[in-house]
Chain A
Amino acid sequence: MVGYVIRRLLLAVFVLWGVATVVFVIVRMVPADPALLIAGETATPQQLAELRHQMGLDLPLIVQYGRYLGDALVGNFGNSYVLSVPAMYLIGQALPNTALLAVLALLLALAVSFPLGLLAALRVNRFGDRAVTTGSLIVQALPGFWVGVVLLLVFSRTLKWLPSAGLTDVQSLILPTIVLALPFIAILTRLTRSGLLEVIGEGYIQTARAKGLPERTVIFPHAIRNAIIPIITVVGLEFGTLLGGAVITETVFSFPGIGRLLVSSIQVRDYNVVQACVVIIAAAFVIINLIVDLLYAYLDPRMRLAK
């Protein structure tokens, strides 16, 4: 178990390094000149050269890379070109909002998909299952941004029940949470269903029935305790989809989170902020996956003592 934990930690660190490097490379490929962006078109060549020297852009690439890594470790991604505040400051403002949204969406998804998946597994191939499976297929095919726009249209513009933009009060959280949670709900429902079906076919379920246990006890806890384990792993993986979806949802609803920060920074070519956003989001994803993996190892007793 200890060996497993150490190896996972090392892998996570390695991936984080890889992520930071990839972002560094990609952003350096931008044809625009950062100094020009900051100083504006009216700057003289000397001023530009001065600025470039200040920003360290005239150093060899490998040195830039080293400084970048070192800075990244302490959370220094430089300043926003547009607002002249540290990029991390902007992220510090935006990230908690996104985190709130993500957690709410996760809770909603769990609350909805678990019972639905259970229903589908217990009524397999009958009406309940057909309805749930078809429903998930449709939900999975929904374009997230379109659903957001349609919901805005219906609930905000037409019915005027809910606010349409920003993070003003609790009500303004409702629509973004639903839109963000939808694809997750579809995936989780199908996963719960298939996970349970697989477990129900296992031998120990027959043993439980042979012990004369009521069907409810056969499912809770015998089947579910086993089915949960692989589900949790996939939840972690799919959380990345959630984070990606946040970008679109926040744009549609003008929600002040890190996703919208990223998109608007791209549009104004504020590459320091872009860099910082991407690294932070990816880092969050890696950490969550790490937690999920460790949780998995804890829940499955076969893992606890092996390796």
Chain B
Amino acid sequence: MTFAPPTIALHAMQRARRARGAVTARIAVPLIVIGLLTVGAVIVPILYHYDPLHADLLARLKPPGATLSDGSTAILGTDQVGSDLFAQMMDGIRVSLIVGAFTLLIAGVIGVLLGLLAGYFGGWFDAVLMRIADIQLAFPSILLAILIASVLGQGVMNVIIVLSIANWVVFARVTRSQVMSLKGREYVEAARTLGASHFHLIFRTLLPGCIAPILVIATVEFGQVILAEAALSFLGVGVPLGTPSLGSTIASGTQYLATAWWISTLPGIALLILVLATGILGDALRDRLDPRLRSA
């Protein structure tokens, strides 16, 4: 006669409860990290009177923790023109966040709109849109970004345009497939029989059902866009020379790897933390909002 003591089931339940708590932590912690970085990105450059165009050659290439001539400490060292690395990194994060936010906004709005229309109306509009998406997806996105950036030249606005072009497809596809799966649901049919107009159906009925997957995608894309901007700036086709960027800081540090390793290394860690936070957040959101999307 066997008795599995009730503790087995109890343990499993406790584990389930802890897992739910973990999901909430995975949402809260990244948000806090991103929030801190955002605040830092705004405040620190101001505190340090950071000016990307100012050069202080006496203070160049100082290691982290070194004391400068005016008595202040360079927490993370200085770069090849004497600017404090910490302030430069924070300013770079500011640029990353701006680029990320605007790109998401533009790519998201355009992509979602096109996806809604394509999913809802179907027909030739959908077919054309999907062919365009196919062609665009035939380019690895970095390639497309580099190509367009090389034509447009450097500039923050250009980077935003380039990355928006490269990324609207993801939003369009996700929205379209969600719309197509929701289109046949009964609550949509019900709204239609009640005489709802196309506009109402698309924006009031279908769109709310798409918010969850769009939010998940947006979070992950935010991190990817930031990485892409850094990559473009690293290659020299991103932000212009006067604007700080984590990518260009890392790039300029490659010449000094032997003598001043911190210039290339530390901004990368900041970048990693920022992108990792968005990745964890996106994962946790997906688990929370729609377990069915739980995939790679």
Decide if A and B touch, CB cutoff 8 A. Answer: yes
Cβ B295 vs Cβ A194 within 8 A = yes
B219 contact set on A, CB distance < 8 A: none
A203 CB, nearest partner CB in chain B, Å: 18
A190 contact set on B, CB distance < 8 A: 295-296
Q: Specify which of B147, B264, B280 is in contact with A146 (CB 8 Å cutoff).
A: B264
Instruction: Check: B139 CB closer than 8 A to any chain A CB.
Output: yes
Instruction: Check: B140 CB closer than 8 A to any chain A CB.
Output: yes
Instruction: Check: A125 CB closer than 8 A to any chain B CB.
Output: yes
B204 contact set on A, CB distance < 8 A: none
Residue interface mask B96-132, A partner, CB < 8 A = 1: 0000000000000000000000000000000000011
Cβ A143 vs Cβ B237 within 8 A = no
Question: Which partner residue on chain A sits nearest B139 by CB separation?
Answer: A282
B163 CB, nearest partner CB in chain A, Å: 13
Q: Knowing A240-B137, A267-B236, A285-B138 are in contact, say whether A146-B268 is a contact too (CB < 8 A).
A: yes
B265 contact set on A, CB distance < 8 A: 149-150, 153
Instruction: Check: A306 CB closer than 8 A to any chain B CB.
Output: no
Q: How far is the CA of A23 from the CA of B234 in the complex (A)?
A: 23
Cβ A11 vs Cβ B134 within 8 A = yes
B227 contact set on A, CB distance < 8 A: 141, 143
Cβ A153 vs Cβ B261 within 8 A = yes
Cβ A194 vs Cβ B296 within 8 A = yes
B177 CB, nearest partner CB in chain A, Å: 15
Q: How many A-B residue pairs have CB under 8 A?
A: 142
A27 contact set on B, CB distance < 8 A: 151
Residue interface mask B235-249, A partner, CB < 8 A = 1: 111000000000100
Cβ B147 vs Cβ A23 within 8 A = yes
Instruction: Check: A22 CB closer than 8 A to any chain B CB.
Output: yes
A151 CB, nearest partner CB in chain B, Å: 11
Cβ B138 vs Cβ A149 within 8 A = no
Instruction: Check: A87 CB closer than 8 A to any chain B CB.
Output: no
Cβ B140 vs Cβ A145 within 8 A = no
Cβ A145 vs Cβ B151 within 8 A = no
Q: Knowing A157-B258, A247-B143, A247-B146 are in contact, say whether A29-B151 is a contact too (CB < 8 A).
A: yes
Q: How far is the CA of A137 from the CA of B281 in the complex (A)?
A: 11
Q: Specify which of A125, A150, A248 is in contact with B235 (CB 8 Å cutoff).
A: A248
Instruction: Check: A191 CB closer than 8 A to any chain B CB.
Output: yes
Residue interface mask B256-296, A partner, CB < 8 A = 1: 01100100110110011001101110010000000000111
A274 contact set on B, CB distance < 8 A: 147, 150
Cβ B254 vs Cβ A149 within 8 A = yes
Instruction: Check: B231 CB closer than 8 A to any chain A CB.
Output: yes
A262 CB, nearest partner CB in chain B, Å: 7
Instruction: Check: A30 CB closer than 8 A to any chain B CB.
Output: yes
Instruction: Check: B217 CB closer than 8 A to any chain A CB.
Output: no
Cβ A145 vs Cβ B247 within 8 A = yes
Instruction: Check: A51 CB closer than 8 A to any chain B CB.
Output: no
Instruction: Check: A185 CB closer than 8 A to any chain B CB.
Output: no
Chain A: interface residue total (CB-CB under 8 A): 57
A144 contact set on B, CB distance < 8 A: 231
Instruction: Check: B170 CB closer than 8 A to any chain A CB.
Output: no
Q: Knowing A143-B272, A145-B234, A234-B296 are in contact, say whether A19-B151 is a contact too (CB < 8 A).
A: no
Cβ A142 vs Cβ B272 within 8 A = yes
Instruction: Check: B23 CB closer than 8 A to any chain A CB.
Output: no
Q: Specify which of A22, A125, A145, A241 is in contact with B19 (CB 8 Å cutoff).
A: A125
A-B pairs with lowest CB-CB distance, top 9: A244-B140, A146-B268, A18-B135, A244-B142, A141-B276, A141-B275, A191-B296, A190-B296, A266-B150
Interface residues of A (CB under 8 A from B): 11, 14-16, 18-19, 22-23, 26-27, 29-30, 125, 137-138, 140-147, 149-150, 152-153, 157, 187, 190-191, 193-194, 198, 234, 237, 240-245, 247-248, 251-252, 262-263, 266-267, 274, 278, 281-282, 285-286, 289
Jot down 24 A-B pairs with beta carbons below 8 A, ordered by A.
A15-B135, A15-B138, A18-B134, A19-B138, A137-B283, A141-B223, A143-B247, A143-B271, A145-B230, A145-B251, A146-B268, A146-B272, A149-B253, A149-B265, A190-B295, A237-B137, A240-B138, A244-B143, A245-B142, A247-B146, A248-B142, A252-B254, A262-B143, A274-B147
Interface residues of B (CB under 8 A from A): 19, 131-132, 134-135, 137-143, 146-148, 150-151, 223, 227, 230-231, 234-237, 247, 250-251, 253-254, 257-258, 261, 264-265, 267-268, 271-272, 275-276, 278-280, 283, 294-296
Contacts beyond the supplied A18-B132, A19-B138: 19 A-B pairs with Cβ under 8 Å: A15-B138, A125-B19, A137-B280, A141-B275, A145-B230, A145-B250, A145-B251, A146-B272, A150-B264, A153-B264, A190-B296, A194-B295, A237-B137, A243-B143, A245-B140, A247-B235, A262-B146, A282-B138, A289-B138
